[in-house]
């Protein structure tokens, strides 16, 4: 079901080609996530756009979508997040192609545009900072049997060195 806030009436736009209408919409769209990055379900996405009618019964949408996001750093697993500003430039047509969105009667549904912009802008492998070295071993010790830190396994190829005795003279 379409998000009602993102359905915009375009009857006046279609009557006069070249007519513009500015829209500002802030709404939550749950379920936006890729890999470990996601838009919190209760976070507001903000669309600032201009709809313009053009010859041929089409409507263009040009503007930006602000997308708040959270994720885990791919190296240290700390929480990371921010707000992305994503440009949108889309065309709505009565008979859409693979590259355009449909006009539904006298309305356009901007939800797919906002969802696509949000999902395509989310980072696939986020970092908390560019020089993140990963987890600090002292903070994440390896524990075996619940009590003691594990000794690293010795490489059997070095076993002969255990027999080596150096003469102190």
In a domain, 136, yes or no: no
In a domain, 165, yes or no: no
In a domain, 135, yes or no: no
45-96: per-residue pLDDT in tens?
A: 999 999 999 887 799 999 999 999 999 998 888 899 999 999 999 999 999 9
In a domain, 159, yes or no: no
137-154: per-residue pLDDT in tens?
A: 666 666 656 556 556 777
C-alpha distances (whole Å) from 138 to each of 31, 121, 141, 143, 153 are 36, 35, 6, 12, 18
Residue 135 pLDDT greater than 90, yes or no: no
Residue 127 pLDDT greater than 80, yes or no: yes
Tell me the pLDDT band of 1, cut-offs 50, 70 and 90. very low
In a domain, 130, yes or no: no
φ, ψ of residue 56 to 5 degrees: the values are 90, 20
In a domain, 97, yes or no: yes
Tell me the pLDDT band of 2, cut-offs 50, 70 and 90. low
Q: Give pLDDT, residue 17.
A: 84
Q: Give pLDDT, residue 144.
A: 56
Query: Are the C-beta atoms of 65 and 118 separated by less than 8 Å?
Result: yes
Q: Give pLDDT, residue 41.
A: 94
Query: Which residue segment(s) compose the domain that 42 sits in?
Result: 4-121
In a domain, 61, yes or no: yes
Alpha-carbon dihedral sign for residues 116, 46, 121, 31: negative
Share the mean pLDDT of the chain: 87
Residue 99 pLDDT greater than 50, yes or no: yes
In a domain, 21, yes or no: yes
Q: What is the mean pLDDT of residues 111-136?
A: 90
Q: What is the mean pLDDT of residues 97-108?
A: 92
Number of domains in the chain: 1
């Amino acid at each position: 079901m379409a998000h009602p806030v993102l359905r915009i009436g375009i009857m006046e736009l279609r009557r006069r080609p070249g007519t513009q209408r500015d829209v500002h919409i802030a709404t939550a769209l749950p379920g936006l996530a890729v890999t470990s990055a996601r838009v919190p379900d209760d976070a507001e996405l903000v669309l600032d756009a201009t709809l313009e009618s053009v010859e041929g019964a089409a409507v263009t949408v040009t503007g930006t979508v602000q997308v708040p996001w959270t994720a885990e750093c791919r190296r240290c697993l700390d929480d990371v997040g921010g707000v992305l500003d994503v440009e949108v430039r889309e065309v709505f047509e009565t008979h859409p192609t693979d590259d355009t969105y449909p006009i539904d009667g006298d309305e356009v549904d901007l939800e797919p545009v906002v969802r696509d912009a949000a999902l395509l802008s989310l980072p696939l492998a986020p970092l908390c900072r560019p020089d993140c070295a990963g987890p600090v071993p002292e903070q994440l010790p390896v524990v075996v049997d619940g009590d003691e830190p594990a000794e690293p396994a010795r490489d059997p190829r070095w076993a002969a060195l255990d027999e080596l005795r150096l003469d102190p003279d």
